[in-house]
Homo-oligomer: A and B are copies of this chain.
C-alpha cells in the first residue's frame, strides 16, 4: 500500500506525508543506502536516533549475497537486518548495467556472470519483481535500463537514448504485470528515462503516467554528466510528474543538489555520498565541507560542526558546541582516529554525515511547513559558502 498526502507547497517545492506498509515517511526525505542490508558503518539504533524513516537496500547485491534462500527464510529484508521502518529496494538494473563487458542486454533482459561465483545469471523485469517480492520492501522499483551519459566514449545520441528509453518503457509494463501477478502488497514505482533529452523525458513520463504507477522516479541522472546537464533534467522532469504522487530523484546527491531538487518538486532522494565520503574523511557541515585528514585539524578542540547535535558532535547530551555542549568529539580526535586507521573514525563520521543529510531534510520540511522555503534556500547557500 501507498498513500501520499500533499501537506503544503511553495512554488514547485512540496511537503508531504507518505504512508507505507511499515510506517509513515515525512517528505521531502533522504533515504540512507544499505546496499548489503546494512548502512555502512552505522548501527540501526543510530539510524533510529538520527530519525531515518526509510532506508534503501540494493536488490542486485542482496540477490548475490545472502541470496533468496536465506532471505525467504526471514520473510524478507526487514527481519533479516532488523529494520522495522519503511524500506525501498532498487531494481538491480543499475548494478547489472555497471558490470560492463560481462553483461549482454537484450529485449528479454540482461545476461551476466555473477561477480561472486561466476554463475551465469539472467535479470529481467520478471526476475527483478520476483526478487523484490521476497525482499518485501515497502517500495519496489521497475527494472529499467539506465541510459548512460556517454556511449563508447561519445555523448549518447538521441537515437541511442530513445532506443534505451523505449526499452525501459516496455520493461516498466512487464514489471508492473509481474508485480501484480505476484500480488506483491507493496508499491511499485516507474522510472523516467530519456537521457539528457527533454522531449524523450517527456515521452517517457507520459507513457509511465498512463500505466498509473503509485509513484515515479527520475533515473539516468548522476551518471557522469556535468552538473548543468543534471540541473537541466531536474528542472524539466519532476514538476511534470503527477502532483498527487511521490517523486523520487535516484542517486542524488550533494547537499546543494538536495535543496535544488526540493525546489524542483522532488520528494525523495538517496545517495551513498554521506557514508562513502565519511569513510574517505570528507565531512559535511552547515558551513561547508571539511577534510578531516588535513593537518589543520590536528589540535582543534571544536567538533566537526559547532551547530550539530549528532552523537559525533554533541555526544549523548545532544547539546551542540555552539549551545555550550562539551560532550562531542573534537576535530583533533577524529583527525587522530583517521591517521591511526581506527574504525571509530568512519563510524563517527558516518553518523555525522547521515545526521547532516537527515537534518537538512528536517530543516527543509520545517521551512516548507512555515512557508519560508525561499528564505531557507538563501540562508543555506550563505552558510555553506561561509567555510568551516
Interface residues of A in 28-48 (CB under 8 A from B): 36-38, 40-43, 45
How many angstroms from the CA of A347 to the CA of B335 in the assembled complex? 20
Residue of B nearest to A337 (CB): B38
Query: For window 315-369 of chain A, which residues contact chain B by CB distance below 8 Å?
Result: 315-316, 327-330, 332-333, 335-337, 339-340, 342-344, 346-348
Interface residues on A, range: 35 or more
Mark the stretch among A68-76, A147-155, A225-233 that contacts chain B. Answer: A68-76
Identify the closest chain B residue to A66 (Cβ): B336
**Residues B340 and A36 in contact, CB atoms below 8 Å apart:** yes
- Measured in the bound complex, the distance between the Cα atoms of B295 and A65 in whole Å is 13
A311 CB-CB contact with B under 8 Å:
yes
Q: Does A212 contact B (CB under 8 A)?
A: no
Report how far A43 CA is from B38 CA in the complex, Å. 18
A236, CB-defined interface residue at 8 Å: no
Known: A45-B311, A73-B299, A299-B70. A343 touches B336 (CB 8 A): no
Chain A 154-197 interface residues, beta-carbon cutoff 8 Å to B: none
Known contacts A36-B342, A65-B339, A343-B343: A80-B43 contact under CB 8 Å: no
Q: Does A5 contact B (CB under 8 A)?
A: no
B333 A80 Cβ-Cβ under 8 A: yes
Q: Are A298 and B45 in contact (CB under 8 A)?
A: no
Q: What would 11 A/B residue contacts be, using CB atoms closer than 8 Å?
A: A36-B337, A41-B343, A43-B311, A43-B347, A43-B348, A61-B340, A66-B332, A70-B299, A74-B332, A82-B327, A82-B328
9 closest Cβ pairs, A-B complex:
A38-B344, A41-B343, A66-B336, A36-B340, A38-B342, A70-B299, A73-B299, A36-B342, A45-B316
